[in-house]
Amino acid sequence: MSTEQDRMPFTEHLEELRKRLITCAIAVGVGFVICYFFKEKIFEWLMKPLIEALPADGSRHLIYTAPHEAFLTYLKVSFLAGVGLAVPVILFQFWRFVAPGLYEHERRYLYPIVILSTVFFLGGALFGYYVVFPYGFQFFASFATELIAPMISTKEFLSFATRLLFAFGAIFELPLITFFLAKLGLISSTFLKRQRKYAILVIFVIAAVLTPPDVFTQILMAGPLLILYEMSVWIAHFFGSKEEADDAVETDEEAARAG
C-alpha cells in the first residue's frame, strides 16, 4: 500500500471521510432540488410499468390513504431521484477515499472505474425497470378477479419500486468489483470456480433478502446474478494478475495429475 496512507493519522482519515460525506450530501441535496421540480413526471414515469399491467377497467391509478401521503411520496421520489442523479459524485468520492491506500499503478484505474461504476449501476436500475418491472407487475396483476381488485397505495408502490431498482443497480456492480479485486490479486477465476456452489446459495439468499417475499421476483433477481457471477469468473480469468494466472495453471495441472 501507499506510504502516504501509512503516514496518515487516524484522525486525518476521519476528517477525509467527513469531507467526502459532506460532498456526497451536497450532491444529493442539489439533485433533490432539481428533481423536485419534475416530481410529477418522475413519479409518472416510475409508475408506467405498473399502470400498464393493471386491468383496463378504470382502476389504472394509485391511491393514498393518509392526507399527507401524496406529499411525502413526492418528497421521497425527489430524494431518491436526487440520489440517482448524484451516483457519479458518490462513487467518485468513494473511490477517491480508498485511492490513497492503492499503489500508483493501481490508481490509474480510478477514473475508468468511476465511469464504469456509474454505467453499471444505472444499467442495473434500467434493467430492473424495463425488464423485471413489466413481467413482475403483470404477474402480480394476474391475480385480480371480479372479487379481488388491486388498490395499490403510492407509499407501498414507491417502497417496492425503489428497493428493486437500487438492488439491481447494486448487483450489476459485481463484474466491476471482480475486475478490481482480480487486478489487486485478491481473487482469481480458480477461486471463483471453486466457490461456485456456495455462491449460488448466497445469490438466492441475497435475492430473497432484497426482493419481496415471493418466488417469482426472487428468480428475476437471482437469474441475472447467476449470469453476472459467471461473467465475473471470465473477467477474473482475463484480467487477474499474472501470479494468479500461474497459480491457476499449476492447480489445473495438479488436478489433471490427480485424476
Q: Which cell goes with 100?
A: 490513497
d(CA 82, CA 32): 4
Most trustworthy range by pLDDT among 48-52, 112-116, 212-216, 243-247: 48-52
What nine digits make up the cell of 123?
444499467
Cβ 62 vs Cβ 152: under 8 Å: yes
The rounded distance, in Å, linking the Cα atoms of 46 and 40 is 10
Q: CA-to-CA distance for 91 and 97, rounded, in angstroms? A: 10
What pLDDT does residue 243 have? 47
Q: Which pLDDT score, from 0 to 100, does residue 249 have?
A: 45
Taking the C-alpha atoms of residue 100 and residue 82, their distance in angstroms, rounded to an integer, is 28
Collapsing DSSP to helix, strand or coil, 164 comes out as helix
Q: What is the average per-residue pLDDT within 78-105?
A: 82
Residue 255 has pLDDT above 50, yes or no: no
Other beta carbons within 10 angstroms of residue 115's beta carbon come to 13
Are the beta carbons of 128 and 163 closer than 8 angstroms? Answer: no
Q: Which three cell numbers stand for residue 220?
A: 428475476
What are the sequence ranges of the domains in the chain? 1-144, 173-259
- pLDDT at position 137 is 85
Q: Is the pLDDT of residue 112 over 70?
A: yes
pLDDT at residue 38, as a whole number: 92
The pLDDT tens digits of the residues spanning 156-204 come to: 888 888 888 888 888 888 888 888 778 777 778 888 888 888 888 888 8
Phi and psi at residue 123, in whole multiples of 5°? -60, -40
CA atoms within 13 A on the CB side of 67: 0
Rounded-to-integer distance, Cα 117 and Cα 19, Å: 21
What pLDDT, on the 0 to 100 scale, is given for residue 24?
92
More confident residue, 5 or 23: 23
Give the per-residue pLDDT at 41: 92
What are the DSSP E strand ranges found in the chain? none
pLDDT per residue as tens digits for the range 124-152: 889 889 988 888 888 888 887 777 878 88
Helix (H, G, I), strand (E, B) or coil at 47: helix
97 contacts: CB under 8 Å, gap ≥ 6: 16, 17, 20
Q: Is 185 left (phi over 0), alpha (psi -120 to 50) or beta?
A: left
Given a cut of 90, is residue 7 above it in pLDDT? Answer: no
**pLDDT for residue 26:** 94
Q: What is residue 3's predicted lDDT score, i.e. its pLDDT?
A: 46
Residues 6+ apart with CB under 8 A from 22: none
Work out the burial of residue 218: count CB atoms within 10 Å of its CB; fewer than 13 is exposed, 13-18 middle, 19 or more buried: buried
Residue 66 has, within 13 A of its CA and on its CB side, a CA count of 8
Q: Report pTM.
A: 0.73
Residues near 18 by Cβ (< 8 Å), separated by ≥ 6?
none
**Does the pLDDT value for residue 246 go beyond 60?**
no
